[in-house]
Amino acid sequence: MTDKINDAAWSKSKKYQKLSDYEKKVLMGLINNAVLSAYREWVQDGKQIPMDEVIEITNKLVLGGVKGFFKK
């Protein structure tokens, strides 16, 4: 299920489509794990900050990693 969602979300990205299957799996694993980890931490901490802030922080971390991944 996650693979189908990820493929649909990234299907229009020309850079993503150029990656090998292995690179796609590694990239999606990084993104999925980072997002899930941020959510878990937010819940465990009692949801002390707004969800929008969690999303912003997670996006900064994930997107910074993705940009580095695509630079070849």
User: Which residue has tokens 């941020």?
Assistant: 38
Q: What is the pLDDT of residue 69?
A: 67
Q: Which residues contact 31 (CB under 8 A, 6 or more apart)?
A: 6, 62, 66
The pTM score is 0.72
Tell me, what's the pLDDT at 7? 73
Query: How confident is the chain (72 residues) per 10-residue block, as mean pLDDT?
Result: 73 90 90 91 96 87 75 64
- The pLDDT value recorded for residue 21 is 92
pLDDT of residue 62: 84
What is the structure's pLDDT at 72?
60
Distance CA 62, CA 6 (A): 14
Spatial distance between the Cα atoms of 10 and 24, rounded to a whole number of angstroms: 10
